Amino acid sequence: MNVNIAILQYVNRRRPLTDEEWEEVVALVNGTLPDFHAFMSTCRPTIGLTGYRVCLLLRLQLRVKDIATMMGVSLPYVSKISKIILLRLWGEKGSSKELAQKLCTAGG
């Protein structure tokens, strides 16, 4: 199944994901982007579970609005977490968009 089609089933639910659904998203990323998944696994202790989830969804090229909905948080919170991740992993200041660009080149 195409990863874009698969992730849309979660986006279209328009609600926070359950723990089981998060496991499915992680498995989807692992199956389609194994190098990225390996990279994120090494970063997870530094960025925590919330940061890890934001990164997975940004790497799947979801909009911040959709990420906020899927995580059950506000848009400003996703932006704040993105800035923290960018600073911790790359030592740079920037936005969710800039983090997404970094993530698209991370881990192959």
Specify the pTM.
0.86
The pLDDT assigned to 77 comes to 96
Span 93-101, mean pLDDT? Answer: 92
Spell out the residues 6+ positions from residue 86 whose beta carbon is closer than 8 angstroms to its own.
92, 93, 94, 98, 99, 102
> 14: buried, middle or exposed (CB in 10 Å: 19+, 13-18, 0-12)?
exposed
The pLDDT assigned to 44 comes to 87
